[in-house]
Amino acid sequence: MASTATLRKPASGFRISRKMLPYVLSLPALLVCIGILIPFFTAVIYSVPALPPQPALGAAVQLG
């Protein structure tokens, strides 16, 4: 009778090494974080030129 070890098929398809597995599993979370931060930084970049210019510190504070 044949043993079960000889009846197994070789694994086919894409295999990920155990060293790379944590990085591959964390990729979706990283993509979500980047997807959240891109609109945030875009809004900051668009809103900075809309700020009114601030007076110099010496002019705003009465010295003397």
Which residue, 25, 27, 47, is CA-closest to 35?
Answer: 27
Q: Which two tokens stand for residue 51?
A: 């700020």
Radius of gyration of the chain (CA): 29
Domain chopping of the chain, boundaries: 17-46
Q: With a threshold of 0.85, does the pTM exceed it?
A: no
Between CA 34 and CA 40 the distance in angstroms is: 10
Residues 20-62 have pLDDT tens digits of 999 999 999 999 999 999 999 999 888 888 777 766 665 555 5
